[in-house]
Amino acid sequence: MRGWRVVLLSLVLGISGVNANETIEVPKQVRLASERWEDYTNADGTGIAWDILRKVFEPAGVKVVVFSVPYSRAIGLVKRGEADAWVGSYHEESPDNLYPRWNFDTDHIYALSLASKPLPTPENLGQFKLSWVRGYDYQCYLPTVGEYREVQRREGILPMLERGRVDFYIDAQTEVDYVLDQAVEGERSKFRSTHIAELPLYLAFGKTDRGRALQALFDQRMEKLVASGELRAIFSHWSQPYPFDKVEGLSTLNRTCRSI
């Protein structure tokens, strides 16, 4: 009889242990790391992305803590457990992270070129020489990409286009506008930016119990906020298009390769 009691007690403890592991307590704060993008993720905690993410987490009792660091360092902070998620990842950009079902925004991707170049489309991009900032891996999201070169920084893009080293520079809308602002007065009209794709933006959570709890909360809150339309006011405040309405004629592209 004593042996049966030991077995029964072991079974009860085992079941209790499984249930305890399934219920992960949500942390009181979420540590978010991001590169500083002007009016999007400003270092002082202002910007549309920070406003969206505070709206997601803080009404649920989770305080948003901001780290403003370069993009690669943001990824490293999450990998080392010093941050819970990094901001602005494309879907499954890194196999080392957990991705929620919901994106929090959409990147509007543009091709910058001389105005004399043919109009680019996602289908004909493979016919041209392309360029983008190292690490953005647009070849994984844009179909038919052929020849491309990566650059370290966004300075010097306009001369590169003028000299014909590349035909199109690919980047998000705000970064393309930043590059265009470098044009000499009166010469901006020499260039043209063309919308080519929409890429959903995600939080990339660490693969930890803490990350899983925050990921689950994020999806729950986004489901509610999108259904209620509560996020619409934030996008309106920052004069940005609302990303959760269906936009006819614009393509949302999926990833076709992974970083190693």
Give the model confidence (pLDDT) of 196-237 as tens digits: 999 999 999 999 999 999 999 999 999 999 999 999 999 999
Note whether 131 and 192 are same-domain residues. Answer: yes
Q: Distances in Å between the alpha carbon of 68 and those of 36, 42, 178?
A: 6, 8, 19
Structural domain range at position 117: 108-198
- Neighbouring C-beta atoms of residue 163, cutoff 10 Å: 8
Q: Packing angle between helix 209-228 and helix 48-57, nearest 10 degrees?
A: 100
On whether both 215 and 159 belong to a single domain, the answer is no
67 and 189 assigned to the same domain: no
Same domain, 40 and 84: yes
Q: Is 247 domain-assigned?
A: no
Q: Quickly tell me which residue has 């690669």 as its tokens.
A: 72
In the chain, the number of structural domains is 2
Give me the pLDDT at residue 140, please.
87
CATH number at residue 74: 3.40.190.10
> Are 224 and 167 contained in the same domain?
no
SS3 content of the chain, % helix, strand, coil (to 5): 35, 25, 40
The set of residues, in sequence order, having a beta carbon less than 8 Å from that of 199 and lying 6+ positions away, is 90, 106, 107, 109, 141, 252, 253
Quote the pLDDT of residue 253.
Answer: 54
**What's the rounded mean pLDDT across residues 38-66?**
96
Residues 163 and 187 in one domain: yes
Give the pLDDT score at 246.
65
Q: Is 168 exposed, middle or buried (0-12, 13-18, 19+ CB in 10 A)?
A: buried
**Does residue 84 have a pLDDT over 90?**
yes
Give this prediction's pTM: 0.79
- Mean pLDDT highest for which of 42-56, 85-99, 170-184, 243-257? 42-56
Predicted pLDDT at 157? 96
Does residue 10 carry a pLDDT above 90? Answer: no
Q: Is 221 within the bounds of a domain?
A: yes
Question: Does 155 reside within a domain?
Answer: yes
Extended strands (E) in 146-187: 148-151, 168-172
